[in-house]
Amino acid sequence: MYEGAIQDLIDELGRLPGVGPKSAQRIAFHLLSADPVDVNRLATTMRRVKEVVRFCTTCFNVAEEEQCRVCRDTRRSDEVLCVVEEPKDVVAIERTGEFRGRYHVLGGAINPLEGIGPDQLRIRELMARLSAGTVKELILATDPNTEGEATATYLALLVKPMGLTVTRLASGLPVGGDLEYADEITLGRAFVGRRAV
């Protein structure tokens, strides 16, 4: 235990995701010895992010205005809507350059262990968007894990009466790699999940 301010900083840093006690200590002492200008810039940026960043009122992506950049872009299609869990997933899909539709950020996935059900996610807002009738295809891009699958299945059942095309991202072997570099679990799954060509 250190005295006063430095220990407070270590404790605060240690509360951040992915930062253990050792790293918190290292970062704290780094900040202590860093140029005050740099530290101030960091502090200001952190305050600013809470002041100016908000959630897009349409898709719930992070935004600095009423709507996020994707929703403001008039060149994008309103007919394809991609559902993701978090804003970081929007960034990931944007980097592919393959998608020119709109997004809807749920704010997580169904996870009873953490007390997250449909009501804790932005599903009502999604249904409201879909009821306008403009969207023709709904892409379910939730994570390929248990919770993401459950969320996708739940949404697929929910929108079924609307008669949209509903799609799910393909998963499996990383393309471009060598078969021999896939571990036996991934390769085994891909093998069992093989499809006709």
Q: Which amino acid is at 78?
A: D
- d(Cα 85, Cα 151) in Å, to the nearest integer? 9
Q: How far is the CB of 106 from another protein (least distance, A)?
A: 13
Name which of another protein, Zn ion, none residue 56 binds, using a CB cut-off of 5 to 8 Å depending on partner kind.
Zn ion
147 binds another protein (CB under 8 A): yes
- For 141, the enclosing helix (H) or strand (E) is none
- Binding letters toward Zn ion, positions 56-95, x by CB under 5 A: x-xx-x------x--x------------------------
Q: How far is the CB of 197 from another protein (least distance, A)?
A: 21
Q: 146-159 vs 123-130: helix axis angle to the nearest 10?
A: 40
Q: How far is the CB of 179 from another protein (least distance, A)?
A: 15
Q: Which of 82, 44, 76 is nearest to 61 (CA)?
A: 82
176 binds another protein (CB under 8 A): no
Question: 133, 77 in Cβ contact below 8 A?
Answer: no
The piece of 49-57, 65-73, 135-143, 182-190 that touches another protein (CB under 8 A) is 182-190
192 binds another protein (CB under 8 A): yes
Q: How far is the CB of 71 from Zn ion (least distance, A)?
A: 3
Q: How many residues bind another protein (CB under 8 A)?
A: 23
Residue of the chain from 18, 36, 112, 176 that contacts another protein (CB under 8 A): 112
Backbone angles phi, psi at 65, to 5 degrees: -125, -175
- d(Cα 26, Cα 110) in Å, to the nearest integer? 36
Q: How many helices (H) and strands (E) does the chain have?
A: 8, 6
Q: How far is the CB of 24 from another protein (least distance, A)?
A: 17
